[in-house]
A and B are shown apart, each in its own frame.
Chain A
Amino acid sequence: MTNATPAPRKKRFWSMERKQSAAGWAFLLPATLLIVLFSFWPMFQAFLTSFKRGLPTALQYSDPLYRNYAYMLKDKVFIQSVKNTFTYLIIQVPIMLVLAIIFATLLNNRDLKFRGLFRTCIFLPCATGLVAYSMIFRTLFTYDGMVNALLMKMGVISEAINWLNDPFYAKVVIILGLIWRWTGYNMVFYLSAMQGIEYSIYEAARIDGANQVQQLFKITIPLLKPIILVTAIMSTNGTLQLFDESVNLTRGGPANMTITMSHYIYNTMFTKNPNFGYAAAMSFVILVMVAVLAAIQMKVGDKR
């Protein structure tokens, strides 16, 4: 430290290029380490846990190793939860994305008055907490709740529907909730992507005599393809991990008819006799499902 004389110049080990690349790595290192430490390492540990069984604090490797995974195939509640989750996925995601595109197209119109207001209104549900909105939906759809009262006043139904205690209607309520909560979120992605589409293209199309619908299908949707792919993957991913709505809106009932996979995993860990290994194994099955679905969507959606 006290050595003031500079070292004699020899052939430098730290060439300019190496220096820059080292700096790059040095900047990457902290974040990478943190991600590995707090995300990948626990995932690896959870993967090991998924092969274990026994008391929560004294887990042992099971015999055979795949025991937890094999049990899933025989677990009726788990299979029911998979069915429920895929019902939500297949019905809700397409409806939501189509609605989001329609809203985005409408709100992208330059001549529309109060555009900002409408955009805010549709995006606003995304600012509500998942638990909060689930509770409010539950209140709205109770037997003597507002929705029943409204529908009966309007003469749509003659007798109150027990929404949350009917296997079919309970699913309907969850899907309605999801659409209300997430349509605006996806719309914002489309809107921002639409800003990137040159307005003159539409003007040209109009001069050529294309109507609104043709503009949508021939210009907007093809140009939005990458972002539609992204939202589809995100929505699929989100739906497969659906938790708050199942827990707070319907409590998984009636008779497990609305329980989602994540909700069942939570129950396995925290309300029933704790079974960490089985819960971890189910989590990995969800991971695989998400990965497979995302891969399929990429293959289908990306034709370059």
Chain B
Amino acid sequence: MKKIVSLILALALVMACSLALAAEDGKITIWTWDPNFNIKAMQVAKEMYQKDHPDVEIVIEEVLSEDVETRVITAASAGDISNLPDIMLCQDNSIQKFVLNYPEVYAEITGKYDFTDFAEGKLAYSVVDGKNYGIPFDAGTVVGTYRTDYLAEAGYTIDDLTDIDWDRFIEIGKDVKAKTGRPMLSGQAGAIDTVLIMMQSCGASMFNEDGSVNFVNNEACKKVLEYYKTMVQEGIFIEVNTWDEYCGTLSNASVVGTVNGCWILGTIMGVQDQAGKWALTNMPSMPGIEGATNYSNNGGSSWVFTNGTDLDLALDFMGMYRNVDFYNEILPSTSAIGTWAHAKEGSNYQAGNDFYNGDAIFAKIVEYTSHVPSNTTGAYYYDAREALGTALTNYINGGDLASELQTAEDTVNFAMGF
């Protein structure tokens, strides 16, 4: 008899637990990563929101980007998304893949949120089949940032690197390399961030409008790979193996500068003893390509929402991302540039930056953001990225460009053929 009683008690306990999960309400849970960037931004948003809504509980949990993705896959495969949070951060390049593969996880928010005045190119990442699935957060607007002391050593100033094309950049790069012994840029071998930055600055993508892969007949792509190879061979661009090594080349000043998304400024400004030695400008453009610009984008994320009971509350909270004061508040501590057009109206955006000798770098970056050509991603973005990375490595090691691109295109088409 006792056994039966304890069995019933145990069962009741299990049921009570599962009920507790389902009944969770009136509380916003958020998964995001990076305590100095995304988490910080959400904390500011939480404090500002709770001033007017003191009864709303908001929980911010640190979950790494890869872990968010793995957990979504696990939850969706198990058919139980009750453990997912109300709001998650998602890499812009992953949104399409996840929404297309797990449509039941993500809440469509078309018409439920005011999307006016968000940068067009940025918003496109979270629009699937004409429906909105995300609220844009930070811009990955590309900046060119260089050490002025090394440039001066070779007889150049930051103006010599402003509004130039890659031909001129390589010319300067050879000269700087000869005079200072330092390469201009560094990057991770096999990770093709720089190549994709250069492609997007031409308004080119790895995909056609209809979603099919576009390598073989992509003039911009070929040209970018040729220029990239030239820079590597001339020693203007040094390839390292890991992300840490890349950051190392910046902090120990073994390169003159970098061309990357503006979030890299966090790393650069983290080295306090280099204050005053850096200057910032736009990136070089690709010569001979129609529509090529000096502006591009790399990285950045958007907030996405789980299909759940707290969606309205979560969206109400996300009203913070249409608030000048919010963007103004997070800028000094995170360097996160908002993609909402009015963000730049805050006083901090106009202020000079001490690290950059009083230059109003954030106003500059917001200005660059408005010129960035948009880019086509899709569910097969990472397949294409990996294939192009393989092609690039083989091409640098002496492979034939046309046939390597053909192989890459075949690889992606193969994955799409399933």
Smallest CB gap from A163: residue in B: B241
Q: Which of B241, B389, B397, B411 makes the CB contact (< 8 A) with A164?
A: B241
Give the shortest distance, in Å, between A80 (CB) and chain B (any CB). Answer: 10
8 Å CB contact of A275 from B239, B382, B415: B415
- Count contacts between A and B, CB distance < 8 Å: 84
From B37-45, B96-104, B121-129, give the one contacting chain A.
B96-104
In chain B, positions 75-119 with a C-beta closer than 8 Å to chain A are: 76-77, 79, 97, 100-104
| Chain B residues, CB < 8 A from A253 | 189-190, 389, 393
Interchain CB contact (< 8 A) of B414 among A74, A267, A274: A74
Residues of B in contact, count (CB < 8 Å): 36
* A274–B389 CB distance below 8 A: no
Q: With A143-B241, A272-B380 in contact, is A56–B73 under 8 Å at CB?
A: yes
Instruction: Select which of A75, A165, A255 is within 8 A of B394 by beta carbon.
Output: A255
| Distance of A162 Cα from B390 Cα, bound (Å) | 17
Docked-complex contact B380 and A274, CB < 8 angstroms: no
B149 contacts partner chain A, Cβ-Cβ < 8 Å: no
Query: CB-defined interface of A269-285 with B at 8 Å, one 1/0 digit per residue?
Result: 11111111110000000
Closest Cβ of chain B: how far from A257's Cβ, in Å?
9
- Contact: B240 with A255, CB < 8 Å? no
13 contacts between A and B (CB under 8 A): A57-B77, A71-B417, A138-B241, A142-B241, A143-B241, A143-B245, A144-B245, A251-B190, A255-B394, A270-B66, A270-B69, A271-B382, A271-B386
Closest 8 CB pairs of A and B: A255-B393, A253-B190, A255-B390, A164-B241, A272-B383, A273-B379, A254-B393, A165-B189
CB <8 Å contact, B102 and A273? no
Within 8 A of A (CB), among B213-267: 239-242, 245
**Cα of A270 to Cα of B70 in the assembled complex, Å:** 7
Contacts A56-B76, A56-B102: A142 and B414 contacting too (C-beta < 8 A)?
Answer: no
Q: Provide the bound-state CA to CA distance between A144 and B382, in Å.
A: 30
Distance of A108 Cα from B6 Cα, bound (Å) = 56
CA A278 to CA B414, docked complex, whole Å: 12
Interface of B is mostly: helix
Residues of A within 8 A of B389 (CB): 253, 255
**Among residues 291 to 344 in chain B, which have CB atoms less than 8 Å away from a CB atom of chain A?**
none
Please give, as numbers and ranges, the residues of chain A lying within 8 Å of B70 by CB-CB distance.
270
Residues of A within 8 A of B69 (CB): 270
Having A55-B101, A71-B417, A138-B241, one finds 16 other A-B pairs with CB under 8 Å, namely: A56-B76, A57-B104, A71-B418, A76-B407, A142-B240, A142-B241, A165-B189, A253-B389, A253-B393, A254-B393, A255-B389, A269-B73, A270-B69, A270-B70, A271-B382, A272-B415
Contact B393 A75 (CB under 8 A): no
Shortest distance between the CB of B90 and any CB in chain A (Å): 14
- How far, in Å, is B146 (CB) from chain A's closest CB? 22
- Nearest CB in chain A to that of B392: its residue: A255
The reply to whether B241 and A256 contact each other, CB–CB distance below 8 Å, is no
